[in-house]
Amino acid sequence: MSHVIAIVNQKGGVGKTTTAVNLGAGLARLGHRCLVVDCDPQSNATRSLGILQSVERTIYDVLVDNDGLPIREVILPSNTEGLAVLPASPSLSGAEVELVNMWGRESRLKHALEPVREDYDFVLLDCPPSLGLISVNALVAADGIIVPVQCEYLSLEGLGLLTRTLELVKSRLNAQLELVGLVMTMYDARTRLAAEVVSEVQRHFPELQFATVIPRSIRLGEAPSYGETIFQYAPDTPGALAYSALAEELVARMALDALATG
């Protein structure tokens, strides 16, 4: 069974792309077939997975093409075995405007993914830091969402807005959408604030917070500039160990959910 999961938070700089890329690589290292869909015009996930040169076709073409461009013609292998990428480029920013007047504008990504969905065990959608039409497409295409939450106070306020958006999408566009979990990112054990934020999120979302906490790490920040995942760039660092643990935790959580619903 394939799982389509959007990595989403309308706040920027919380570790969405870092999580999408390294969670995808962690899942691939466990033997799962994984696709990362870069839904962000900044295209950082694309570069982080070794696609450093411009490519002819991207997710932009998949979303706005009215002639049914096969998505398999756009998906590329990444620098990690078992992990593929649907690349993005800055041209994706224009899709927000072009989608407005298109039929089925909220569900174009969902329909595009259908032919390849069962080719993968996990499809991870790296969303932009906004709640525009591209993010809505990701939420409609997804079965669930993972929310990276930076360990700072203002993250809690943004989390409330995101959960309200989730409920709105569920009620109007995608009744199957579920909140898979919250992953705390950029955790600095030296600060009391980080521990307080983790505790507060745990208090409000006791069943949803992943036990794995992603540490603040210079290596995690450096890896994308070399077009590498953390497992390639610094495999023995706390960041790599954390994303490996998160991948294992996600697999276990999805298996439990399947048992509960099956």
Give the tens place of pLDDT for each residue, 98-151: 888 888 899 999 999 999 999 999 999 999 988 889 999 999 999 999 999 988
pLDDT of residue 261: 59
pLDDT at residue 196 in the model: 84
**pTM value?**
0.94
Q: Divide the 262 residues of the chain into consecutive groups of 10 and give the mean pLDDT of each group.
A: 92 89 98 97 95 89 82 95 96 87 90 95 94 93 94 74 87 94 89 84 86 94 95 97 98 76 57
Residue 79 near residue 111, CB atoms below 8 Å: no
Q: Which CATH number fits domain 3-261: 3.40.630.30, 3.40.190.10, 3.40.50.720, 3.40.50.300?
A: 3.40.50.300
Q: Domain extents for the chain? A: 3-261
Q: Rounded to whole angstroms, how far apart are CA atoms 60 and 97? A: 12
Task: Give all strands of the β-sheet with 3-7 in edge-to-edge order.
Answer: 76-77, 83-86, 34-38, 122-126, 3-7, 144-150, 178-185
